[in-house]
Structure 1
Amino acid sequence: MAELLYRLGKFAAGRAWWVIGAWIVILAIAGGAFAIGFKGLATNLDVPGTASEEVLDELQQKLPDLAGASGTVVLHREDGEAFTPEQQERIAALVADAGSLPDVANVVDPFATEAERAGQAEELAGAADQLEAGRAQLDAGQEQLDAGLAQLEAGEAQLADAQAQLDAAREQAEAAGAPPEQLAALDAQQAELDAQKAAIQPQRDTLEEQQAELDAQRAELEDQAARAEEGGELLQLASGIRLVSDDGATALVSVAFTEPRMELAESSKQAVIDHFTAEPIDGVEVAFSTEISQGVPQILGVGEIVGVVFAAIVLLVMLGSLLAAMMPIVTAAVGVGVGVLASLAFSGIVQMASVTPILGVMLGLAVGIDYSLFIVNRHRTQLLHGAEVVESAGLANGTAGNAVVFAGSTVVVALLALNITGIPFLGVMGTVGAVCVLVAVLIAISLTPALLGLFKTHILSRRAQRRIGEVDHVDAKAKPMPWWRAIVTVLGTIVVLLIVAIPALSMRVGLPDGSAEATDSYAHRAHVLTEDAFGPGANGPLLVAAELPAGLDEADRQTAQLDVARTLAEQDDVVAVAPVAVSEDGELAAFQVIPAEGPSSASTEGLVRDLRALPPVNDEIELGVAGQAAINIDISANLADVLPVYLIVVVGLSLLIMILVFRSLLVPLIATGGFILSLFATYGAVVAVFQWGWLAAPLGIQTGPILSFLPVILVGILFGLAMDYQLFLASGMREAYVHGAKARLAVSLGFRAGRNVVIAAGLIMVSVFGGFVFAESTMIRSIGFGLAFGVLVDAFVVRMLLMPALMHMLGSAAWWIPKWLDHIMPNVDVEGAALERKHHAAPAVSVPAGGEST
């Protein structure tokens, strides 16, 4: 590899314009591909196979109006008074016209909805009065029936008495031998009595029919009363869900889209914003929830530009030449252009999150500047030693460039490994980041030598040019580190890093809601207005789907809905429940649930888990939970689950690379152990700032849960970058060791040889990543801070303090490797020692006189 890179470097330096022209063509092709293939970015994140996704799929089939994206337009009277009738009319007109906007399925007029709700309450009150009147009428009819029945029963009693008297008279007459005339008279009386009995039976039948009819009316009335009571209870359970505040000064316009949130075009959301802001209503403030207002963040802002300017200053101080200082920045910019534009060209084929290209820019700039710097610095050192320009460019490419290739490979491996998480947006982010790093490596080993050949010795300052050939290779000041200092350094750095990591124990992960956005953003303002007027839970309603039994009639469906609503309302941290829809087949009902706190709160997260753990209502109605808050919780849970697996895979693969590079078992283990310490220290700092709020005010940061995919992203990127610095420092130590220095002296020699470039590279990365802390997007801010702090800790604490001290304590054991393994491994010669011997070049790290005896 070193020899191949040496030849590439010489070729590029000797034919500079050919290489420069080739990269210009490549950049133009990437730009053309971007112009043709770019189809936009997704502002939402998604993880397939979650519980929320299953609920949304079911809703898509049976209640498609609820499966699309949705958002809220918040309208607020600036003086705190209730909306005037004229303002309500203007808002109603805006709502009516919004229905024709692209991808808009439905827009709810808050004032009409509240009027309808009030009408329903009045209807229920009127129905209750009617029911009471009906009961009074039935009671009066029952009294009449009871009186008629009493009269009938009295007549029947009289007839019974007359029958008894007649029977006694006949018995006496027959006993006395009464004549036939007397018996005939008794028969006539009996016939008359029988006629009277026969006349009474129809009256009884009529009374019984009237009683049955009255009972039926009473049953129907009681059924109506039960239905009305259930409706009243449902209305009462939903009383906490309002679209107009109690003081009448704030109103919520609900906007439902036809497209799912992951497929909703950015232009459709922007159309809603433009519609409600095109003609302002006097005295009325307008804001939009995150689902509508969250757009594609700006890739480069003032903070990022300041970071690049600071990087240029670092380069100028280190290299002493404006031309040399600008070279890494120019090559990095070209690499970013090629990598990001080429990646975005595939956005029409692969769905990309809006943060994806920004991550590519971050990495492309940071590693692009650093990788070019390593080669430029090596070339500059060789020129000062008297090397010829083209030969020096080739040697720099074969030595420092060889290290760049292996350093870049660790970053690429770590980023590509994001695909094993099974989370599509993370895999795409990792792939785009890996592409940008790969392009940065290719730029560094081809375009950088070309520019070195083009500018010749002009990359040195005039003062340095006068010193060409006068610089001594030997570092006579290098001495092994004292034992006591090594021990104190190891213990001190470990203790400090563990203390900084303490806040990580309380880390809560989630996705940012409106409260975490910039205070002057639509999303933050909408969040605050909604919370003040309707309570914090109104910012994160949950959508609960209930699978109802088949074959229920309308009354039974209402009873089943009430049973579900009661169950939901009985849960802790539930403020209100409202049924919102039932499918046409009557087998799926949807409910809106308002939690007690916001979507990113611990109580809402617990509520989602509690609802999903509920047994079936009435032993037959299964519940599912969706909604933006539940979706965010699911994504965060899945990401937390994949973190340990991802960490093991990345560390394992990179350990293999480092064993191959350093031909050692302990050096890779030291590097990995140090990384784990710096990673958890970074987690602690992120929690302290973004969750606890330390230094949040000066940085303009709104506190909340830690971005759910940030821990995974930090593992991949920081591990790769940490191994970069490990490689450049440890390869210098190995180079000195290979050239004959004692192990502990080699540590000092390698450290002194590489410290300046590593310090500069670390400062550059911190400044580039740190610039993104001031981005407009909360997600970008936390990523920028995490990467900046992680590089700061790993480069300046772990790599420059802890690692050299541990290497000193291990001595020659640091380079131990089993002979059988040493024989089967290829010699990658990352430090280029064989290349230097072949081309009779002096090593960058030389052993001082007497070094062998140290």
Structure 2
Amino acid sequence: MATLFYRLGKSAYRRWPFFIAAWLVALVAVGTVAATMSKPMTDSFSIPGIPSEKAADLQAELFPNVTDAFDEASVNVVVAAPEGHSLDEPSYTKAVDSLVADLRALPQVAPDAPITNPVDAAQSQRQAMLESARQSGTPPDVAKANAAALSPLTPDARVGIISFQYDVETVADVEPATQEALLDVLEAARDNGLTAEANGAGTSAMSEPGASSELIGIAVALVVLLLTFGSLVAAGLPIITAMIGVALGLSGITAMTAFMDIGSSTPMLATMIGLAVGIDYTLFILARYRTELQHTDDREEAIGVSVGTAGSAVVFAGLTVLIALCALAVVGIPFLTAMGLAAAATVLIAVLVALTLLPALLGMLKSKAFGGQVRKYRPRREPDGHIVNNGVRWARFVGRRPLAVALLVVVGLGALAVPLKDLHLAFPTDSTASVETTQRQASDLMAEAFGPGREGPLLVVVDATDVAEADRSAAIGEVTAWAADQQGVANAQVVAMNDAGTGAQIMITPTSGPDETATEDLLADLRDGQAGIEAETGTTTGVTGLTAITTDVSERLSDALPVYLAVVIGLAFLLLMVVFRSILVPLTATLGFLLSVLATLGATVAVFQEGAFGLMEGQPIVSFMPIFLIGVVFGLAMDYQVFLVTRIREAHVHGYPMKEAVVDGFRNSARVVSAAAAIMTAVFAAFMLQDEPIVKSMGFALAVAVVFDAFIVRMALIPAVLYLMGDRAWWLPTWLDRLLPNVDVEGESLDRPHLKGRSIEDELDDLTAESNEVQR
């Protein structure tokens, strides 16, 4: 493999115009497809086969005109009169009428949309329900309770809800101009003395993420790279190549919407990962190129060796990330599969950019690759000429007390993992949005006025086709009474019957909010009692609705986690065994990862769910965050493992005993790995500035994970364990050694004249010579 990449690097350097042109053509081609064939992204979180989806299918069968819950671009405008006043006062009635007229005039609202003043709507609804109750024989007190449960107006008439839907096929079809117009309408209502806020699926596009996070991450990365290379040109190369890779990846994701559904959060997550690994992979090869220039004046040879050695490590590091991300498809969740594959494609592009575009750019720049020097690197040397840098100092410090360091890391990260026991997974709702958003303010106002369950109703679908016609009404009534008797139900009533009288929809209003555990318990109780009520009434029932669907998705994600872990860890263990030709090194690598990811999840629960230190308002953790975090962090963790330990193994292959090999590995790679980890931390942490809960929590978790895994596990625990194991770390059964392919990540097969006939001491001196002496 080293020989193959050696030739690739030299070819890209020598024929740089062709390689650069090829990348530009790819950018233009993919961008053209994205611009001409792309479709809107979706926020659907459904999974075929889950109970709520089966109930939704039953609903569609009984009610053919029903709209998919995720496609309804619904809007709830919550209006309130000032304290001590009511909406039925003449002045506020006039203000609400003006608001209703403005809402009817919004773009993408059907001309005949039933948008009504909540005072009038509440009165009409109450009269209609009481009349229906008289005809059906429903007791008056039950009829009044049902009317109050669905009323768009509070009993004191101070707060009202104006509900409508945009005339679009899916939520993604709502245009930004429509969103802006709604905000203007709300502002006009406020000018008339009302409190006016809006939420619902139709408002989901109101908070568009900006580019500030990416810019902050790039700025920090540039500073770190400038400190690492001391050159403006060299510092800019990883940034440029990473941005090209991300641009191509995002264009590809947009283009793929023409062929498959892709979630709206996918581009942001792909950007996080693509930007971070794109910078890191280029950084590792560029740093090796600078080192190789100290041994030869032939730049083409230097880049060939760099791509053959560091490039091989990049490929295997990238493969671990690809395995982790592509394995998300094993879970069988469509939106998560799309997210994983999109991020994996971005990582693959980052690997290809590092292997081909970087050498081509170096071929174009020639002697200017390390131009614009702003600082010189003058390391201290020992009497024998060996460089002593912070990596050496740290490796020797760990080597003096390896057992103590290992125990301290295990105990410390274990303590951070303790809050994980209280993990609560849920999907983000308007009630968990940022407090500055109109969605959150509308949600809080609605919950205070109408109760928290108003935003997250459950829907029981009843199929009475097999029940005798004369008994259907009674059977549906029994199901309704059964649902109303469940603990945590504020109200249950029939809200729709099909024309044939064989199907009914029963709306259940919980006493708790959609993201609370009490609502999940209610859903579980309903499911547990389904068989009994079906046997008693002869009906077929199912529970669906947005709350039920998202709860089922969360449960499926939790159930899929062990399978996912087994696949990822198993495949990655085999890959690392091929790279390091060892059993113990891959084993310690995966165990270290488990420790860091558990600590990361614990810290995320403490900060995001429990609100520790007052940094965040407490809210449930996004349901797919743990499984996606595990996939991404495993890949990144193996990146650092590969880059750091391959340098240690390289020294060992050339005859160094374990202690000297560890020190030499840190001497040559700790600085670059630390820079790479700092860049990743900055890129991920910058995404915490976004208002989107998914992006914010993912940014925090990924940043913390990099800190834990790169600086604590890889820089402290792994060297401590290697010191304790000694040369036994490279043990591999003879029979297995014969079976494993020799991928030669260390570049043993390369013809490197500067190593011929040299002693170990001479080799070490050359490998650690001053980097700033290279001024081409």
TM-score (ref. length: structure 1) = 0.82
CA separation of 1:13 and 1:567: change in aligned 2, threshold 3 A? same
User: Do 1:489 and 1:805's aligned partners in 2 also have CA atoms closer than 8 Å?
Assistant: yes
The corresponding residue for 2:774 is none
Q: Of the candidates 507, 519, 527, which is equivalent to residue 423 of structure 2? A: 507
Corresponding residue of 2:172: 265
Residues 130 and 143 in structure 2, CA contact (< 8 A), matched pair in contact too: no
**Aligned residue for 1:546?**
462
**SS of residue in 2 equivalent to 1:578:** strand
The aligned amino acid for 2:571 is L
1:56 equivalenced with 2:89 (yes/no) = no
Cα separation, partners in 2 of 1:545 and 1:464, compared to 1, 3 Å: closer
Where 1:762 maps in the other structure, the secondary structure is helix
Whole-Å separation in 1 of the counterparts to 2:286 and 2:458: 56
In the alignment, structure 1 residue 839 sits paired with structure 2 residue 756: no
Asked if the contact 1:343/1:432 (under 8 Å) is kept, the reply is yes
Unaligned runs of 5+ in 1: 128-223
2:256 aligns to what SS in structure 1? coil
1:414 and 2:324 are equivalent in the alignment: yes
Superposition pairs for residues 809-828 of structure 1, below 5 Å? 809-828=724-743
How big is each residue's C-alpha offset from its partner over 1:41-72, in whole Å with a ceiling of 9 and x where there is no partner?
Answer: 11232222111111111222222454434434
Q: Distance in 2 between matches of 1:11 and 1:124?
A: 81
Aligned to 2:444: 528
The alpha-carbon deviation at position 561 of structure 1 amounts to: 3.8
Structure 1 window deviating more from structure 2 (725-734 vs 386-395): it is 386-395
The one-letter amino acid paired with 2:259 is: I
Rate the CA distance shift 1:657–1:123 in 2: closer, same or farther, 3 A: closer
Work out whether residues 365 and 768 of structure 1, in 8 Å CA contact, stay in contact via their aligned partners in 2.
Answer: yes
Letter in 1 for 2:462: A
Query: What residue number does 1:162 align with?
Result: none
Distance 1:770 1:275, change over 3 A: closer
Secondary structure at the aligned position of 2:79 is classed as strand
Partner of 2:11: 11
The answer to whether the 8 Å contact 2:100/2:116 transfers is no
Provide closer, same or farther for how the CA distance between residues 307 and 78 of structure 1 changes in structure 2, counting only shifts above 3 A: farther
Deviates more, 1:77-86 or 1:342-351: 77-86
The 5-angstrom pairing of residues 188-207 of structure 1 reads none
- The 5-angstrom pairing of residues 786-797 of structure 1 reads 786-797=701-712
Secondary structure class of the residue paired with 2:417: helix
How far did residue 839 of structure 1 move? 2.8
Q: Say how many residue pairs are matched.
A: 743
Matched residue, 2:204 = 294
Contact 1:75 1:252 in 2 (8 A): yes
Residue by residue over 1:666-718, the C-alpha shift from the partner in whole angstroms, topping out at 9 and shown as x without a partner, is 00000000000001011101111110012453xxx442111111111111111
User: Within 1, Cα distance between the matches of 2:610 and 2:202?
Assistant: 28
Match of residue 519 from structure 1: 435
Task: Give me the whole-angstrom Cα distance separating, in 1, the residues matched to 2:706 and 2:23.
Answer: 30
| Distance apart, 1:850 and its partner CA | 12
1:375 to 285, 307, 324: 285
* Residue correspondence of structure 1 range 80-95 to structure 2 within 5 A: 80=83, 81-83=85-87, 84-93=92-101
- Taking the aligned partners of 1:302 and 1:539, their CA distance within structure 2 comes to 32
The alpha carbon displacement at 1:641 in A equals 0.8
SS of residue in 1 equivalent to 2:149: coil
Q: Secondary structure at the match of 2:150?
A: coil
Quick one: distance in 1 between partners of 2:168 and 2:482?
31
CA apart distance, 1:420: 0.9
For 2:63, the aligned partner's letter is: L
Per-residue deviation, 1:367: 0.4
The whole-number CA distance in structure 2 between the counterparts of 1:508 and 1:297 is 25
Q: Percent identity?
A: 36
- The one of 633, 640, 644 aligned to 2:558: 640
For residue 450 of structure 1, what is the amino acid of its counterpart?
A: A
1:75 pairs, out of 78, 94, 105, with: 78
Q: CA deviation at 1:312?
A: 0.6
How far residue 767 of structure 1 moved from its aligned partner, in angstroms, is 0.5
8 Å contact from structure 1 (residues 101, 271) kept in 2: no
Alpha-carbon distance in 1 for matches of 2:520, 2:759: 60
Which residues in structure 2 correspond to 1:224-623 (within 5 Å)? 227-230=136-139, 232-237=141-146, 239-256=148-165, 263-267=170-174, 271=178, 274=181, 277-278=184-185, 280-281=188-189, 282-295=192-205, 298=208, 300-460=210-370, 475=386, 485-548=401-464, 550=466, 557-614=472-529, 615-616=532-533, 618-623=536-541
**CA displacement at 1:464 relative to structure 2:** 9.6
Identify which range, 668-677 or 97-106, moves more after superposition.
97-106
In structure 2, give the amino acid aligned to 1:250.
V
Find the aligned partners of 1:620 and 1:686 in 2 and give their Cα distance. Answer: 47
Matches within 5 A, 1:659-674: 659-674=577-592
* Cα contact 1:605–1:633 (8 A) shared by 2: yes
Q: 1:732 aligns with which of 634, 647, 656?
A: 647
Shift in alpha-carbon separation, 1:299–1:734, aligned structure 2, 3 A: farther
Whether the 8 Å CA contact 1:480–1:745 is kept in 2: the answer is no
Q: Is the 8 A contact 1:238 1:576 kept in 2?
A: no
Match of 2:496, SS state, is strand
Note if contact 2:47-2:553 (Cα within 8 Å) is conserved in structure 1.
Answer: yes
Counterpart in 2 of 1:146? none
Give distance in 1, aligned partners of 2:385 and 2:246.
38
* Displacement of 1:578: 2.3
Go from structure 1 to structure 2 and tell me whether the alpha carbon gap of 1:68 and 1:257 turns closer, same or farther (over 3 Å shift): farther
Q: Against the structure 1 CA distance between its residues 632 and 124, is the aligned structure 2 distance closer, same or farther, given a 3 Å change threshold?
A: closer
Q: Identify the range of structure 1 (617-626 vs 536-545) with the bigger mean alpha-carbon deviation.
A: 617-626
Displacement after TM superposition at 1:7 (Å): 1.4
Unaligned 5+ runs, structure 2: 765-776
Pair 1:676-2:594 in alignment: yes
Normalising to structure 2: TM-score of the pair? 0.89
In 2, are the aligned partners of 1:329 and 1:369 still within 8 Å (CA)? Answer: yes
Q: Distance in 1 between matches of 2:107 and 2:119?
A: 16
1:649 aligned onto 2:657: no
Alpha-carbon distance in 1 for matches of 2:283, 2:727: 30
Residue 574 to residue 29, structure 1, CA distance change in 2 (3 Å): same
Q: Contact (CA 8 Å) 2:78, 2:159: kept in 1 or not? A: yes
Alpha carbons 2:314, 2:351 under 8 Å: kept: yes
**Alpha-carbon deviations, 1:128-166, whole Å to 9, x = none?**
xxxxxxxxxxxxxxxxxxxxxxxxxxxxxxxxxxxxxxx
Distance 2:345 2:668 in 1: 31
Distance in 1 of aligned mates of 2:721 and 2:543: 52
CA distance, structure 1, for counterparts of residue 425 and residue 680 of structure 2: 26
Retained in 2: the 8 A contact 1:39–1:347? Answer: yes
Measure, in 1, the Cα distance between the counterparts of 2:193 and 2:65: 33
Please name the residue that 2:603 is paired with: 685
Q: Which residue of 2 aligns with 1:751?
A: 666
Q: CA deviation at 1:93?
A: 3.9
For 1:266, give the aligned amino acid.
D
| Whole-angstrom distance in 1 between the partners of 2:638 and 2:759 | 24
Is 1:352–1:425's contact at 8 Å kept on the other side of the alignment?
Answer: yes
1:474–1:390 distance in 2 versus 1, CA, 3 Å: farther
Q: Which residue of 1 aligns with 2:767?
A: none
Aligned partner of 2:643: which letter? Answer: F
Q: CA deviation at 1:846?
A: 8.9
Retained in 1: the 8 A contact 2:220–2:679?
yes
